[in-house]
C-alpha cells in the first residue's frame, strides 16, 4: 500500500514537539507540503530547519480567534488539517476550578472546532479534504485524576462526528484518532507525578503502566510515530471510505470492541 500525498498541503497544530512533530514528519515523508505550527516563532523555525524543503512554519496561538485566523490565512488552501494541539494534567476531581474547566475546553475542543470552521469550507469547495482530530483513550475511559481532560476529549469525538455529517457527500472526511498512553516529554513529567521520581525511566514507565494503566495490552507506552502512522493513512486517498469514526491507536487500552 503506497501512500502518496504529493501536491497536498497539511497543517498540524502543536507540531513543534511530541505527537504533533511526529505527525508532521510522517506527512512530509509521504510527500505532503507541511505547515508546522506552534506559539513560539523561534521553536517553529528550529523545527522547520530540521525538516527540509516542502515545510514551512506559522507561529500562531490557535487557542485565540486571532491566532486561528492568522494560521488559516497564511496557510492558504489546506487539504489536510490535523488538530493535534492539546493540554493535559492531573487535578483531584473536586479541586478542578472553573478556570481549569474553561482552559481545557477552549484548548482541546473550541480551538479545533474553530479551525475546522475556517478550513472545511475550502475543502468542500475543492471536493477533497481530510480533517483529523487527535483524541485520547481518556475520552472513553475517564481518568479520575483528570476528568476535565477526559471530558474535553470526549467532546472532541462529538465535534468530529458532527463535522463529518456536515461534510457528508463532499469528498471530505473527518475522523478522530484515539491515542493511548504515549511516550512524550510531557508524559514523562506526568508519569513522575504518579510514581517515585527517583526511579530510572524504564522502571518508572513499567510501574506507571502496571499501576495507572493496567488495561494496556501492549504493556508499554506508545511511540509518537505509531500515532503518526495512523494519521498518515487516514489523510491519504486509501481511507476515502472512513469518516465520522474514532480510530484507536491505544495499545488495546480501551476494553471495548468499539469506542
Q: Is residue 192 among the annotated active site residues?
A: no
Long-range CB contacts (< 8 A, 24+ apart) of 182-189?
A: 182/18, 182/19, 182/221, 182/222, 182/223, 182/224, 182/227, 183/221, 183/222, 183/223, 183/224, 184/17, 184/18, 184/19, 184/224, 185/17, 185/18, 186/18, 186/88, 187/221
Residue 136: half-sphere exposure toward Cβ, Cα within 13 Å: 26
Residue 211: half-sphere exposure toward Cβ, Cα within 13 Å: 12
Which residues is 175 bridged to in the sheet? 132
Long-range CB contacts (< 8 A, 24+ apart) of 228-232?
A: 228/19, 228/22, 228/23, 228/25, 228/26, 228/27, 229/26, 230/177, 231/23, 231/26, 231/27, 231/82, 231/132, 231/134, 231/177, 232/3, 232/5, 232/23, 232/26, 232/27, 232/30
Distance in angstroms (rounded) separating the CA atoms of residues 239 and 30: 15
Write down the catalytic residue from 149, 192, 233, 253: 149
Catalytic residues: 149
Amino acid at each position: 500500500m503506497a501512500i502518496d500525498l504529493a501536491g497536498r498541503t497539511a497543517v498540524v497544530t502543536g507540531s513543534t514537539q511530541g505527537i504533533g512533530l511526529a505527525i508532521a514528519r510522517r506527512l512530509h515523508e509521504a510527500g505532503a507540503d507541511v505547515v508546522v505550527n506552534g506559539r513560539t516563532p523561534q521553536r517553529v523555525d528550529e523545527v522547520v530547519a530540521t525538516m527540509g524543503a516542502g515545510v514551512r512554519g506559522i507561529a500562531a496561538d490557535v487557542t485565540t480567534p486571532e491566532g486561528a485566523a492568522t494560521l488559516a490565512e497564511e496557510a492558504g488552501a489546506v487539504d489536510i488539517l490535523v488538530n493535534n494541539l492539546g493540554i493535559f494534567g492531573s487535578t483531584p476531581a473536586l479541586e478542578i476550578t472553573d478556570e481549569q474547566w474553561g482552559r481545557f475546553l477552549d484548548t482541546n475542543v473550541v480551538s479545533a472546532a474553530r479551525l475546522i470552521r475556517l478550513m472545511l469550507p475550502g475543502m468542500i469547495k475543492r471536493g477533497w479534504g481530510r480533517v483529523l482530530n487527535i483524541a485520547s483513550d481518556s475520552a472513553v475511559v475517564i481518568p479520575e485524576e483528570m476528568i476535565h481532560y477526559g471530558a474535553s476529549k470526549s467532546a472532541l469525538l462529538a465535534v468530529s462526528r458532527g463535522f463529518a455529517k456536515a461534510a457528508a457527500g463532499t469528498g471530505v472526511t473527518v475522523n478522530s484518532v484515539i491515542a493511548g498512553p504515549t511516550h512524550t516529554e510531557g508524559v514523562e513529567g506526568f508519569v513522575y507525578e504518579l510514581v517515585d521520581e527517583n526511579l530510572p525511566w524504564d522502571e518508572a514507565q513499567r510501574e506507571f503502566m502496571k499501576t495507572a494503566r493496567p488495561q494496556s495490552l501492549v504493556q508499554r507506552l506508545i511511540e509518537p510515530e505509531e500515532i503518526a502512522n495512523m494519521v498518515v493513512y487516514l489523510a491519504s486517498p486509501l481511507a476515502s471510505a472512513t469518516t465520522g469514526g474514532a480510530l484507536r491507536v491505544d495499545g488495546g487500552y480501551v476494553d471495548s470492541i468499539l469506542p
